[in-house]
Copies of this chain bind each other. A is one copy, B any other.
Amino acid sequence: MSTSINLAVIPGDGIGQEVVAQGLKVLTAVLPQDVKLETREYDLGAQRWHRTGETLPDADLEALRHHDAILLGAIGDPSVPSGVLERGLLLKLRFAFDHFINLRPSKLFPNTATPLAGRPEIDFVVVREGTEGPYTGNGGSLRTGTPAEVATEVSLNTAYGVERVVRDAYERASARPRKKLTLVHKNNVLVYAGHLWKNTFDRVGREYPEVTTDYLHVDAATIFFVTQPERFDVIVTDNLFGDILTDLAAAVTGGIGLAASGNINPTGAFPSMFEPVHGSAPDIAGTGKADPTATILSVALLLRHLGYEEQAARIEEAVSADLAERDGTFRSTDAIGDALAARVAG
């Protein structure tokens, strides 16, 4: 825990700008007086790409790397071909900074709408691998655009990459009251990657006898997400399965407006990056309808990562209390940010 935070801010596209502003508002309000917060905003995303054709130039990458952490709003716009910004900017950051832990907590806060009948208790965290799997960009196409086209996508999995995320997940499970860790994969079909994941999971698990373990195929896991989400405590899974499961998790815990995430490099070799799970939602950009809570909860993860546990907890409690008192009347992006800033300062 340092007495200064040198934060990179990438507002990005659509509602990114608006929600990040609220995240910074709450961050400023919660930080102790003696902690110096410096921020530098990076102009990255659709506008930059349209203007210059660049997604993430080396100079920006190099500059970003010297920050303590990165706060990102959202990336993506319908005016940019699908994949350009996702791969050229968002995934490039995750890979360049070796964010092998993609941390996505899911909690059903009081008084929030869940599509699930009976309001089950939901409080789990997905530890999604962030630097391997089908996200590595390994693939290609042959005879593209012809009736003889073949297109491939290669999922790359290494013992090195799997072990470090599995180990991190055991650590997190061991530190939680229920101490339960579920591996989600599809090892009855994806047998090569599946064996690597399962064997690593079993082997590392012997070092954590206090942790109860479970294995589920990804298809079965989606069933339990809606019928029995209370069975989950910590989940560890690959990059693609984690992507799918955390959107579903967000949906059952009150929606994508509340889902926070951290792209973490626990070694500290590179800055970690915190962002809401939601996208840039161009349809509501500028309307004041975006819920900044997911970004504000991502700020809590950021603070925890930097050692400000007390401040992180204060934000989470403020969100919980704020949600408990929401009465369904519309509050603008700004109003929610103000309310949470007031709570954490108070």
Contacts and interface: CB of A to CB of B under 8 A. Distances in A.
Nearest to A143: B159
Contacts of A250: 223
A198 B141 CA distance: 14
Nearest to A161: B150
A52 interface: no
A221 B284 CA distance: 19
A219 B244 contact: yes
Contacts of A226: 115-116, 226, 248, 251-252
A323 interface: no
A160 B149 CA distance: 8
A150 B157 contact: yes
A199 B259 CA distance: 32
25 contacts: A82-B187, A83-B194, A86-B188, A115-B117, A115-B118, A116-B116, A116-B117, A117-B118, A134-B155, A134-B189, A137-B191, A140-B192, A148-B158, A150-B156, A150-B159, A151-B158, A151-B192, A153-B155, A153-B190, A153-B193, A189-B243, A222-B251, A223-B256, A225-B248, A226-B251
A323 B258 CA distance: 37
For the complex formed by this chain, how many copies does it contain in all? Answer: 2
Interface of A: 76, 82-83, 86-87, 91, 114-118, 134-135, 137, 139-141, 143-160, 163, 186-196, 198-199, 218-220, 222-223, 225-227, 240, 243-248, 250-252, 255-256
Contacts of A150: 156-159
A206 to B, nearest CB: 15
B223 A244 contact: no
Given A151-B195, A189-B83, A192-B140, A222 B222 contact: yes
A169 to B, nearest CB: 18
A257 to B, nearest CB: 11
Nearest to A138: B152
A125 to B, nearest CB: 17
Given A115-B226, A116-B117, A140-B192, 6 more contacts: A134-B155, A151-B195, A152-B157, A153-B193, A189-B240, A219-B248
Contacts of A147: 159-160, 163
B154 A159 contact: no
